[in-house]
Structure 1
Amino acid sequence: MAALDGRLLLLFGLLFVGFSAGQEPVLLSSYSHPETWLRPYDWAYLRVDLPPWFSSMVVTFVSSVNIDKDSVSHIPKSRLPVICLKGGSPPLPDFSGTYPTNLLLNLPLNGSFGAFHNLSGLDLDLCIPFQANITLALTNEQISPGVWYFGFFNGLGPERTQSKMISRGQAYMFSIRINVEGCTTSTIWGPYCNQTMDMPLCSESAIYKKERNLLGMPSYSGTDSRKTHLVHNNFLAVGNPVVGKQEASNGSVFVMAESLITCNNSFESSCVGYGELKYYSLDIASMTSQFTIMVTKFKSNQTLSMGNSSDSGGMLLMCYARYNAIPLHTVYDYSADISRGSLTVKSPKMGRWYIAIQASNQSSTYSNSSVCFSFMWQLQECLDGKAGVNCTWDSCLLQRVPRRGSSVPYESYFLPTEENESIKSSFFSLEPLLSNSSVNNVSWTYFSLNIPPGTAGANMHVQLTSDTKVNYELFTRYGGLPSIDAWDHYSNGTGSSNGSMISVIDDSDDGQINFYILYAREGTWTFGLKHTPESREKYETTMSISLVGCPRHCSSNGDCRYSVEGSGFTFISYCWCDRDHGGFDCSDVLVTPQGHIWQSIFLIASNAAAILPAFSALRQKAFAEWVLFTSSGISSGLYHACDVGTWCALSFRVLQFMDFWLSFMAVVSTFVYMATIDDASKRAIHTCMSIVTALLAVTGATRSANIALVIAIGILGLIVGWLLEFTTTNRFRCWFPQELHLNMLERWQSMKAWFYDLVNTLRKRFRWLYVLSGFVALAAAAISWKLETNANYWIWHSLWHITIYTSSFFFLCSTVSKSTIEDQQQGYELTRQNSASRLE
């Protein structure tokens, strides 16, 4: 019975292993953005979280436009709709001038990214134009796990944040769905969950050094021994740890300098054929000075080597290391032949590191054999308060303090954990925290902080102020210790280097360090301050690191606003600039002061053209139309005075509604006036039209389609007025029912008489030269409306004022009043009677 149970257990184990090795990726999460219309210069964001065990991300994007590669170069950036992708923070493709035009043209528009194996390593916004239907597949060999942001933009450039009364251009619809797939077992990995990930066992031990070599470290006296424990991560199984060597000291004072984590693999289970890859992973949870990978033993069927390649018979063990993604023999971050030496990575980033071991044979002697090996993976971690290689430099942890009374949810600043007395100020004294040791008269001091989740839409503001010129160099790095060779942002008071930061440098600053990191990634940031040892006594410097909504307070040229991206998790701040400025921080001057004056004059003074139709209406005693045109001109002038920032008599929304509604009513009333009906009928038509135009003005006043709708409504009112007039005066008679008894010839004569009467009435009703001039002016108004853009809005909209009021003037002058027609008819009858009497 026991033997049967053993066989069943073995069978179950084999089935489980077979299932794990051949499993298919499963759906982990799904994200979507519903159908959304992007007006000109509108944008939207969507956050996607990729867990460490994801295998691929499939993106399905649908839009109302299809832009091919050939037409991309011919479309201005200000009109180009694009979808962008960036890791860690929302994309800003139009900010730094590093717009990836070449990448935009070379990326595939369907399928997989193929040869792009390291998209996560590019510090660029990956952008492609809108497509009618596009599907992209990104695997964990191409992008790393973590937070990714999709950005959808209808036009790029500094005008994107400029406040505009009317945005002319094409609106586009888009929707997106993102499926994230992954493996269900931690030991299975790869894009198709077909690669085995082995688990090394790790132990931790302490390294002691004499106090004189490490100033200021906490000291311990007496006998102490190393402690060992198991370091847990997603790929390390619970088991027997590798116990470190016991060491003790008596009679001398030692300090704990750093912690050494050692990971080893199983020699018996680590066998690989020539040319094959075997994968391992390790999580680095804190700042690490370096890690080293070295082989301890490897052998084939014919030879045994203890790390000496001279006895290995031409066998090599290549080691490939890659941060946050699986390495390949063609794509990796670091590589070395560990059969001849070791692989050392200085200041590695926090997170998951993957290594791949590949066996190769320089000779054909053992080409069909496999290689078994064991390696040692050592991580050197400094204890609290120390950092850098050999744990030489001081490190300070900064804690986040929310800013009181802020309207932006994530505004805060960072202070040292012991700076409790200055919690009300965002600045802290720098010199007491500086390292007091040096190497070659150079010292480093590190400051670490954590950006909380959901705040990637904030901006990090870094300031150093001093009573004298600052002699510091500041290096910034995300996820790891910065150095001269590895950094993300750099500033020394006189210059800076990085496309995703705004440096605030002025001649009067005397070398002060002041810059913003735009949309700082959530996670751990480290600032490395390079200085001289005498900086502790020579200078008095304060430092401030804070999270703010908008850089430079939008340069005092706009308002700081924030929105929530599509998943509802991240707040994203942005500047909404005034009419004259644009750009991410409203520092780009789009309209000069002199140009602003001329634009104000044109937009306001052009409404004086309303005097023409108002005077014509008053001259013809059409008092309702006179009030309407006068009010329309005044409200339009007040609205544009407020729009350009001159003076606001009422709120902007009220003035906008009054301007558009009265303009619509002026156009409609012009057509209604051309039908000379009685006042009761005219009041009824005006009431109906006022309701419809008010709805147009309040629901979408700036829509381009409104001009056609208003003209159509006016023509409809004119036709209804004519019908009422002809019906009332019996001028419109239906000849068919009454003349049914007539023969065909008589009916034809009756039709000709009716048509002649209609043409004669229309000829007498209007002055056709004025009608023609009115239509010419109306066509010019329509052309002006169509040609309006953000850049030339002021000139074409001013011409729109002049032409639309001029067309109303011509239409009012073209109408002959009913009393004038009757007087002409009476005069004609009297003349005919006098002629008849003289003949008698």
Structure 2
Amino acid sequence: MASLDWRFLLFFGLLWFGFSAAQVPVLLSSYSHPETWLRPYDWAYLRVDLPPWFSSMVVTFVSNVNIDKDSARLVPKSKLPVICLKSGSPPLLDISSTYPTDLLLTFPLNGSFGAFYNLSSLDLCIPFQENLTLTLTNEQISPGVLYFGFFNGLGPERTQSKMISRGQAYKFSARINVEGCTTSTIWGPYCNQTIDSPFCSETSIFKNVRNLLGSQLYHRIGSLNHPVSSKSRLGGVVVRKQEASNASSVFVTAESLITCNNSFQSSCIGYGEFKYYSLDIVGMTSQFTIMATEFKLSGMLLMCYARYNAMPLHTTYDYSADISKDSLIVKSPKIGRWYIAVQAVNQSSTYSNSSVCFSFMWQLQECLDGKAGVNCTWDLHKLQRIPRRGSGVPYESYYLPVDENESITSSPFSMESLLSNASVNNVSWTYFSLEIPPGAAGANMHVQLTSNTQVNYELFARYGGMASIDNWDYYANSTSSRNGSMISVIDDSDKGQINFYILYPREGTWSFGLKNTPETRQKSETAMSIALVGCPRHCSSNGDCRYSVEGSGFTFISYCWCDRDHGGFDCSDVLVTRQGHIWQSIFLIASNAAAILPAYSALRQKAFAEWVLFTSSGISSGLYHACDVGTWCVLSFRVLQFMDFWLSFMAVVSTFIYMTTIDESLKRSIHTCMSIFTALLAVTGATRSANITLVVAIGTLGLIVGWLLEYSTTNRFRCYSLPELHLNMPERWLSVRNWFHNLINTLRRRFRWLYLLSGFVALAAAAISWKLETNQSYWIWHSLWHITIYTSSFFFLCSTVLKSTDEDEQPHYELTRQNSASRLE
């Protein structure tokens, strides 16, 4: 018997150990961004999905730069590399009110977030670190979609078209591991907290009478319970739904009341301990209420904490109440999972060593039949998404209501037939709901109301729940709008419209509440349109709308690519004025006239190949900059850019080769090799700052090779054997001294040294101008580059003294005729 008991103990011990081991968080998913170089003003995004049962997320970030808290304040925003996190939609720093430097004093740059619990609306940025590890738990952030943004520089110049890309490039890589619990009843950062689900049932509330042929009369008015005919899932609990049978006169179901109760016997906790529950809300609802039904102890409090999408704590929660005295009421709750924590608080030391049992009731009021509001008074219309045909952006679409015959109305749709007939205190509400599909968080939502008179509507928008005066994310009327991530396009003098964009809206359910007076529908004709568009305001007609795909390949992100004079997320920021644009165009185009100097010098010395090269270089550069500033494009931009940089590189190289006096066939060979190499430079990265160094090095190499070839053809070396070298040492040193003396004399005769030194000074000035080019000062320094590089070529051409014809002529030898006859004589 004792052995049998021992076996049972061993069996249950192993079972308990296996159960405990199974509750260790497991890896759910892993996301990674490969090693990437971010050039100045470049950016990249990465989407991470956090399921409802996730426990923690570990972010590992590696880069080649480390910006601490002190140095971050000294770095301009335009040069600051940052990593940003935002829940629900991609971070858009152009409109974000959160700046990287605001968080540096308190934000931990490594490890967990510690006391940073309330991060449900995550929107923050931190500078790049060499090694950064962050741990975020489900007590700190909510499940759903999280976006990472990697930016090298902030500001309106980020979207400005740039001919050059000067500045520091940074390398980074990121890896995100998401861990979670294996069962839905276990929760917490370490999967060590048990969550209970109460038992729920549904009751229909009837408020209006409708006569139907062949129906049976129901005699009771008010709240009726019916036999269970179907079941649905709500928060992991079985919810019973009722359906009325056919009747001659039935009550229209205007509201559904879902009631959930916990088990009194299993809901016992010690004083100060917590008991956790989860409840799911799957649709738009007016409110829910939590009240205690069995709990009566003097000196005791039954605190109830409610939190959306995260576990509530006694210091972090969305709503709280002492349900032993009052009910906890949450109006217009968001769709999703709500977590409830119940804590028994002892106000005295009377019951300090015992436990207390309790029961509570959770009631959810849900409107049916296209109704909304606390009393289901207002009309609710669901909008259907219609993809826009022929659009260049994948998610562009518009939303329309569907009438009773399931036919789609036109866009924009008329409002008068959709407005609620009822009113309370001379105020009427009409609601619209729509769905933003997965992967479309990188689009922009355009909402517009137009009227033939002044618009007397107030529009409230909210994500994930019913919009109201007390709960809204965006608000707009005919004169103003509120919220940082919404832009309005209303003219102050135009009172006949409400027109705004919601930038990068979150995926999921959105509601729009329209508040008006009953007289509004009688005095005006109003039309409404809601659409998903690529870029707001069509990039203000100052750029092109483009889109990219974030790192996971699931979300398309649209953005504006502005012209040379504008920037910002919608190209509305003027970076270069009209007058400044004219002066920049004049400088960039007219400065190429400096090519006349080397072209004239080459023509004067009958160097026709160099004359063609310098002339073509000046013309192509002028045409390229005329196209770049928006004046006129004779060819495509890419072709003109290649021609400009390639011919400029060749002009520098040809100048150095011209300074040699080798045979023309050898010059052609060197020219061919250099033209291939410079063409590769112009194609693979024409605007790289290192190109000027490479081109000068190539030209110098060509000059040295030419001199070596020239010297090898005009001088002969004698190779001495070792004994002969020792015997003829004085003669050897004399030969070396004569060789060096002849070399100095040759160099003195070959160049005009004043021109040569001037050429090197001009070349150094050109290199400095190239190095100092930035996005803001590009026009002045690049104009000086044109002038100095052509001037240096002019001086180098003038410094070269061509070999005289007499030096190249070799003595001619001729056989002398001899009179052989005289000898015979």
Alpha-carbon distance change, 168 to 354 in structure 1, aligned in 2, over 3 angstroms: same
Q: Residue 364 of structure 1: which of 341, 349, 356 is its match?
A: 349
Q: Corresponding residue for 1:689?
A: 674
After the TM superposition, which residues 99-138 of structure 1 pair with which residues of structure 2 at under 5 Å, given as runs?
99-122=99-122, 125-138=123-136
From 591, 615, 620, the counterpart of 1:606: 591
Following superposition of structure 1 onto structure 2, how do residues 621-660 of structure 1 map, counting pairs within 5 Å?
621-660=606-645
Decide whether aligned partners of structure 1 residues 330 and 466 sit closer, same or farther in structure 2, where only a CA change above 3 A counts.
same
- 1:793-820 per-residue CA deviation (whole Å, 9 max, x = no partner) reads 0000000110111111111111111117
Tell me the equivalent position of 1:86: 86
Q: Deviations over 1:470-514 (max 9, x none)?
A: 000000000001111111011011110111011001145224100
Q: Residue 385 of structure 2 contacts residue 399 of structure 2 at CA under 8 Å; is this kept in 1? A: yes
Amino acid corresponding to residue 454 of structure 1 in structure 2: G
Name the structure 2 match of 1:729: 714
Shift of 1:211: 5.6
Q: 1:344 to 1:490 in 2, by over 3 A?
A: same
**Who is 1:226 aligned against?**
225
Residue 543 (1) aligns with residue 540 (2)? no
Instruction: Give the alignment's TM-score, normalised by structure 1.
Output: 0.91
Q: What is the distance in 1 between the residues matched to 2:86 and 2:442?
A: 13
| Stretch of structure 1 that moved more, 548-557 or 411-420 | 411-420
- Assess, with a 3 A threshold, how the Cα gap between structure 1 residues 424 and 22 changes in structure 2: closer, same or farther: closer
Following TM superposition, by how much is the alpha carbon of 1:566 offset from its aligned partner in structure 2, in angstroms? 0.5
Following superposition of structure 1 onto structure 2, how do residues 651-670 of structure 1 map, counting pairs within 5 Å?
651-670=636-655
Structure 2: which amino acid aligns with 1:222? Y
Equivalent residue runs for 1:290-329 within 5 Å = 290-298=287-295, 305=296, 312-329=297-314
Cα shift at 1:106: 2.9
Query: Are the counterparts in 1 of residues 441 and 507 from structure 2 also a CA contact under 8 Å?
Result: yes
**Cα pair 2:402 2:408 within 8 Å, conserved:** no
- Equivalent of residue 366 in structure 2, options 373, 381, 403: 381
Q: Percent identity?
A: 81
Decide which moves more: 417-426 or 344-353: 417-426
CA deviation after TM superposition for structure 1 residue 746, in Å:
3.3
Change (3 A) 1:370 1:68: same
Cα drift, residue 404 of structure 1:
1.2
Structure 2 letter corresponding to 1:260: L
User: Contact conserved, 1:220 with 1:255, CA < 8 A, in 2?
Assistant: no
Alignment partner of 1:58: what SS?
strand
Q: 1:382 to 1:737 in 2, by over 3 A?
A: farther
The Cα shift of 1:325 comes to 0.5
- The 1:823–1:684 alpha-carbon spacing in structure 2 relative to 1, beyond 3 Å, is closer
Matches within 5 A, 1:548-567: 548-567=533-552
Q: Could you give the per-residue CA deviations for residues 745-797 of structure 1, whole angstroms, max 9, x where no partner exists?
A: 33333222221111111111111111111111111111111111101100000
Measured against aligned partners, the alpha-carbon deviations of 1:442-492 in whole angstroms (never above 9, x if no partner) come to 111110000111100100000000000000000000000111111101101
What is aligned with 1:183? 181
User: 2:628–2:637: 8 Å Cα contact kept in structure 1?
Assistant: yes
Instruction: Quickly say closer, same or farther: Cα 1:723–1:247, change in 2 above 3 A.
Output: closer
Aligned to 1:62: 62
Check if 1:53 corresponds to 2:53: yes
Q: Distance in 2 between matches of 1:579 and 1:669?
A: 33
Mean Cα displacement is larger for which, 740-749 or 131-140?
Answer: 740-749
1:726–1:732 contact (8 Å) kept in structure 2:
no
1:393 Cα offset (Å):
1.0
Kindly report which structure 2 residues correspond to 1:330-409, keeping only aligned pairs within 5 A, or say none. 330-409=315-394
Provide the residue aligned with 2:477 in structure 1: 492
Query: Structure 1's 341 and 107: CA in aligned 2 closer, same or farther, altered over 3 A?
Result: same
Query: Is the Cα–Cα contact under 8 Å of residues 21 and 195 in structure 1 kept in the other structure?
Result: no
Q: Distance in 2 between matches of 1:80 and 1:165?
A: 21
Alpha carbons of 1:576 and 1:254: their partners in 2 closer, same or farther (altered >3 Å)? Answer: same
Judged with a 3 Å threshold, the aligned counterparts in structure 2 of structure 1 residues 380 and 235 are, in CA distance, closer, same or farther, namely: closer
Distance 1:588 1:498 in 2: 20
Distance 2:752 2:645 in 1: 29
CA–CA separation in structure 2 for the residues paired with 1:421 and 1:320? 43
1:142 corresponding residue in structure 2: 140
Output the amino acid matched with 2:513. G
Q: Which residue of 2 aligns with 1:830?
A: none
CA distance in 2, matches of 1:136, 1:60: 7
Aligned amino acid, residue 170 of structure 1: Q
Specify the code of the residue in structure 1 equivalent to 2:199: L
- The residue that corresponds to 1:192 in the other structure is 190
| DSSP-derived class of the 2:364 partner | strand
Residue matched to 1:280: 277
1:152 positional shift: 0.6
Cα–Cα, structure 1 residues 685 and 49, in superposed 2: closer, same or farther, change >3 Å?
A: same
The SS at the match of 1:740 is helix
Aligned counterparts of 2:379 and 2:561: Cα–Cα separation in 1: 42
1:804–1:356 CA distance, 2 compared to 1 (3 A)? same
- Partner Cα separation in structure 2 for residue 228 and residue 765 of structure 1: 111
Amino acid aligned to 1:343: L
Residues 351/445 of structure 1: CA separation in 2 closer, same or farther (3 Å cut): same
Closer, same or farther: CA 97–634 of 1 in aligned 2, 3 Å = farther
Q: How does 1:564-583 map to 2 (within 5 A)?
A: 564-583=549-568
Q: Distance in 1 between matches of 2:468 and 2:808?
A: 98
Q: Which amino acid aligns with 1:58?
A: V
Secondary structure (helix, strand or coil) at the match of 2:765 reads: helix
Pairs within 5 Å for 1:400-419:
400-418=385-403
Against the structure 1 CA distance between its residues 709 and 231, is the aligned structure 2 distance closer, same or farther, given a 3 Å change threshold? farther
> 1:150 & 1:231 partners in 2: Cα distance?
40
Counterpart secondary structure, 2:725: coil
Do 2:400 and 2:410's aligned partners in 1 also have CA atoms closer than 8 Å?
Answer: no
Equivalent residue number for residue 817 of structure 2: none
Partner in structure 2 of residue 258 of structure 1 = 255
Q: How does 1:393-542 map to 2 (within 5 A)?
A: 393-418=378-403, 423=408, 425-542=410-527
| Equivalent residue letter for 1:180 | V
Which residue does the alignment assign to 1:201? Answer: 199
Asked whether the 8 Å contact 2:209–2:252 carries over to 1, the reply is: yes
For residues 675 and 595 of structure 1, what CA distance do their matches in structure 2 show?
44
| Stretch moving more, 699-708 or 789-798 | 699-708
- Cα distance, 1:22 vs structure 2: 6.8
For residue 420 of structure 2, give the secondary structure of its aligned residue in structure 1: coil
Q: Distance in 2 between matches of 1:554 and 1:484?
A: 32
Cα gap change, 1:79 to 1:228, in 2 (>3 Å): farther
2:183 is paired with a residue of what secondary structure?
Answer: coil
Mark the runs of 5 or more structure 2 residues left unpaired by the alignment: 812-825
Q: Work out the CA distance in 1 between the residues paired with 2:674 and 2:571.
A: 42
> How far, CA to CA, are the matches of 1:710 and 1:144 in structure 2?
55
Q: Secondary structure at the match of 2:375?
A: helix
User: 1:394–1:93: structure 2 CA closer, same or farther, 3 Å change rule?
Assistant: same
Q: Could you report, residue by residue, the CA deviation over 1:518-537 in whole angstroms, capped at 9, with x for unpaired residues?
A: 01111000001010012222
- 1:16 is displaced (CA, Å) by 5.4
Distance 1:379 1:402, change over 3 A: same
Distance 2:350 2:91 in 1: 54
**Counterparts of 2:262 and 2:125 in 1: how far apart (Å)?**
42
Deviation string, structure 1 residues 42-61 (Cα, Å, up to 9, x no partner): 11100000000000000000
CA separation of 1:468 and 1:678: change in aligned 2, threshold 3 A: same
Q: Offset at 1:101?
A: 3.2
Residue 677 of structure 1: how far off its partner (Å)? 0.8
1: CA distance, partners of 2:637 / 2:265: 77
1:161 to 159, 162, 183: 159
Contact preservation (8 Å) 2:451, 2:496 = no
Paired amino acid for 1:190:
G
| Offset of residue 743 of structure 1 | 4.0
